Structure 1
């Protein structure tokens, strides 16, 4: 999502579509945001539920929900491409690629009915875990349907989402590779438990990967957590370190973030004359 839409009044249909898909302030924009967030949660929940033994009736219901949500997301994707200023950029955008990958396994059944049994095995089953990446679209900027958050809060949200994403994606891919051959992996919950224990370095040893791909998935997840989590955490620490600074850019050297009472740039000495309340 985004917040940098212009007023649609007097614009073309494309302008109106683009505005409401990016808007967080109007009733329509907020409803769309909330609806898409709820559908994301449902989409991910269905994926997890389908790994558990359920009755035929419930399995049929889950498939109906999955198919219905996939159609809604397909419509959303097509509207985004239609309303985008640059359709090429929109199609190649990371979030758009994730949107397509998230629904491909489900939509493949409609296009190729014979592939229904393939959606639960191999690559197609593994790729369904990218659904969780759709949540990153809601952290593109500080504007949300409930208001505006600070940059620091947004970075904390991204860090929390990154941790959950690493756990979820790793568990999903690990489940795909290990489920059929590893007696300890019956459901997504078993795979998630293993990932949390492994990445937290607790390592009880009650569940271990038995396939080569499963081992490589575990290694990749550990490396990803070592790289991504400290990197995002460092941004939060840096933001906290600038809490008492004012984002004033020096016209001479471009140095940003100065002390509240600074009258000269501490990098080049150029006069910046910030306003400062002496009562503080």
Structure 2
């Protein structure tokens, strides 16, 4: 029991602490997610050979090990396990482990791991403290990341539902091309998704994509503000040079990087 408790303490430190070692661990997890996303796109250009399926299974085992460590680090493992994003993560991992049976179906769900990490408060805090660019452009960076995740997920959905019977969708590049032209409502017409399911999928891409585009544009063009909770009223966003909170007038002490 003591050994199990000690392991949980170590794991929680790695997933939540602000020490250099814990930050490196979380950056390594983000790198692992980026690697898995890149593999999804690359594998769509390759035939389903034994080597490709072997890499899928090995990657799935690595991600499964990390998933088990994350659940073990939680003080409430069962509640953590049934959280929606963790369930989606588990489905994504199973799609890798069962690659020889599924032949790549549902593999696009692996990108949800990146979405989970990008919304992790601790990781955002890490990026904010380590990267001045991210600290200055946090909202725009997250909006761009969400749009990128949406593009990849929808391209994966288009690819998985169309590449076996649609000659216009042969790989992820074709699926991404269709997704972007639909999202921007360009609609060249050289690639279409037949049937009711295809039309509904196109509608989802256009509606959701326009919403994400607007959010990104809003984040890019609205006046730049910094996140700093007011000690008195809790207002989160202020002008970079604000001395007083505009909501309650409390004196602020917003840290800056100093003048060059």
Bigger shift: residues 89-98 or 146-155 = 146-155
Is 1:180 the counterpart of 2:164? The answer is yes
Shift in alpha-carbon separation, 1:234–1:199, aligned structure 2, 3 A: same
Distance (Å, rounded) in 2 between the aligned partners of 1:201 and 1:162: 19
Counterpart in 1 of 2:70? 80
Instruction: Give the TM-score, by structure 1 length.
Output: 0.73
Q: CA deviation at 1:39?
A: 2.6
Distance (Å, rounded) in 1 between the aligned partners of 2:126 and 2:27: 13
Counterpart in 2 of 1:70? 60
Counterpart in 2 of 1:42? 35
What SS is found at the alignment partner of 2:191? coil
Aligned length: 244
Shift in alpha-carbon separation, 1:32–1:52, aligned structure 2, 3 A: same
What SS is found at the alignment partner of 2:98? helix
Distance (Å, rounded) in 1 between the aligned partners of 2:164 and 2:252: 65
Q: CA deviation at 1:220?
A: 0.7
Distance (Å, rounded) in 1 between the aligned partners of 2:98 and 2:207: 32
Shift in alpha-carbon separation, 1:38–1:247, aligned structure 2, 3 A: closer
**Which portions of structure 1, spanning 4 or more consecutive aligned residues, are displaced by more than 6 angstroms?**
none
Which runs of 5 or more residues in structure 2 are unaligned? Answer: none
What SS is found at the alignment partner of 2:168? coil
Q: CA deviation at 1:34?
A: 3.9
Q: CA deviation at 1:201?
A: 2.1
What SS is found at the alignment partner of 2:70? helix
Shift in alpha-carbon separation, 1:40–1:145, aligned structure 2, 3 A: farther
Q: CA deviation at 1:14?
A: 0.7
Shift in alpha-carbon separation, 1:146–1:38, aligned structure 2, 3 A: farther
- Name which one, 1 or 2, has greater alpha-carbon Rg: 1
Distance (Å, rounded) in 1 between the aligned partners of 2:84 and 2:195: 30
